[in-house]
Amino acid sequence: MSEKCNEVLAELEAFVDGELPSEKMGEFVDHLHECPPCLHRADFQAKVKEIFRKKCEKTSSSPPETLILRVRQTIRSEVRFTDEA
C-alpha cells in the first residue's frame, strides 16, 4: 500500500460525495486507473452511498447514526479484506 493509497483512502468519502476540488478529483481518478485495490474501495463506497440514498428516499429521513457507524465498520473490514487478498 503506497502513501498515495493512504491519501486516497482518507478522502474517499469526499471523492464519492463529489466534494473534492476538481484538481484533486483528477489526481484521484488517475490513481484509481492505475491502482485496482483503490478502485475497488471507491466502487464499494459508491455502492454504500447508493444504498443510503435509496433508503433515505423511501423513509424521507436521515439514516440513524448507528446504521452509519455499522456501514463505516463494514467499509473498514472490506478494506482490510482487500489488502490481505
Residues that bind Zn ion (CB under 5 A): 5, 35, 38
Rounded distance between C-alpha atoms, residue 56 and residue 74, angstroms: 19
Question: In the complex with Zn ion, which residue's Cβ is closer, 35 or 71?
Answer: 35
Outline where the chain has alpha helix (H).
3-10, 12-17, 22-34, 36-59, 65-84
Q: For residues 5 and 75, which CB has a smaller minimum distance to Zn ion in the complex? A: 5
Collapsing DSSP to helix, strand or coil, 63 comes out as: coil
Question: In the complex, what is the shortest distance from the CB of residue 47 to Zn ion, in angstroms, rounded to a whole number?
Answer: 18
Q: How far is the CB of 12 from Zn ion (least distance, A)?
A: 10
CB of 63 to Zn ion, least distance (A): 28
